[in-house]
Structure 1
Amino acid sequence: MVGRTIGHVRFNEPGQWAFSFEPGVGIGVECPWRLLQGGSVAISSEDHSQQYGLPAPLDVAEVATNLLSLHLVTHVDVREGTADLIIDFGDALRLEIIPMSSGYESWGVTTPSGFYVFAQGGGQLSGYRAGA
């Protein structure tokens, strides 16, 4: 992911988020996530469709795409024991994907080479190559 940009963020009902990186890397997310800007929460999955006194409900996918698409990924880390996925976009932005289940898969990364990595329940990682 390092050196790539986000092409788009999508919300797929009933509860999966898709982060597409250019070219050819994707993350499917079925747990909470948040986008930090300057160390503070700019937007999160919990904000989707909330109105908060605004003229219209928030389209979090659009807001996240607009914020992230202008920045390159500079660093990626997975926290040992929790499988929190932390993606830094320079000094300005950080995407934190935060597994909350001890039993369900929380997120999965697909790569152009056909390698898949999944965060299993309880914070474990599992990976495989398609066709292997």
Structure 2
Amino acid sequence: MMDSLDWLAKHQLELVLHREHDWVFTFDGQAQLLVSCLWRLLEAGRIRFASQDDGQWFGLPASIDAAAELNSRIGHRAIELVMLRDQTLDLELQFDTGHVLQVIPDSSGYEAWEVLKADMFFSALGGGDLAYFGSPMAND
């Protein structure tokens, strides 16, 4: 069974969309990351903004559009390193810009995120188990 997401390295982020209950990160090569939990973007090692900041004003002239911010900072940039923490399934994508996207499961019962590509499907299950469905593929 393939339980690693290392194949995501070298893929470029094409678009981020915020739907009603989740976030969709679309990568080249028809790969997608669907996030239903907390995520945050690190810039120079500090939290730049997080999913919960979307729509907040924080005294700014306009509310934060987190999808637009992500698209401008890491859109069309390549992932250099993928890290997946055992047991908690915290997912970290390090981009060639130096930005780091951290996806942090925040429920012991609900699926936190899913990664899809071709005939592969990975799901971060509640409680920290990783489900995998599909057939192994050659590195691309």
Q: Normalization by structure 2: what TM-score? A: 0.87
Which residue matches 1:12? 19
Match 2:91 to one of 81, 85, 89: 85
Q: CA RMSD in A?
A: 1.3
Is 1:64 the counterpart of 2:65? The answer is: no
How far residue 23 of structure 1 moved from its aligned partner, in angstroms, is 2.4
Q: Which sections of structure 1, spanning at least 5 residues, go unmatched?
A: none
Which residue matches 2:5? none
Rounded to whole Å, the distance in 1 between the matches of 2:61 and 2:97 is: 31
The runs of at least 4 aligned residues of structure 1 exceeding 4 Å deviation read: none
Q: Normalization by structure 1: what TM-score? A: 0.92
Contact 1:27 1:107 in 2 (8 A): yes
How far residue 54 of structure 1 moved from its aligned partner, in angstroms, is 1.3
Rounded to whole Å, the distance in 1 between the matches of 2:125 and 2:78 is: 27
Rounded to whole Å, the distance in 2 between the matches of 1:90 and 1:61 is: 19
How far residue 24 of structure 1 moved from its aligned partner, in angstroms, is 0.7
Which residue matches 2:3? none
How far residue 79 of structure 1 moved from its aligned partner, in angstroms, is 0.1
How far residue 20 of structure 1 moved from its aligned partner, in angstroms, is 0.5
3-state SS of 2:127 partner: helix
Q: Which sections of structure 2, spanning at least 5 residues, go unmatched?
A: 1-7, 136-140
How far residue 91 of structure 1 moved from its aligned partner, in angstroms, is 6.1
Q: Which AA in structure 2 matches 1:10?
A: L
**Identical counterparts, % of pairs:** 33
How far residue 70 of structure 1 moved from its aligned partner, in angstroms, is 4.4
Rounded to whole Å, the distance in 2 between the matches of 1:87 and 1:76 is: 5
Rounded to whole Å, the distance in 2 between the matches of 1:11 and 1:91 is: 22
Contact 1:43 1:64 in 2 (8 A): no
Match 2:127 to one of 105, 122, 126: 122
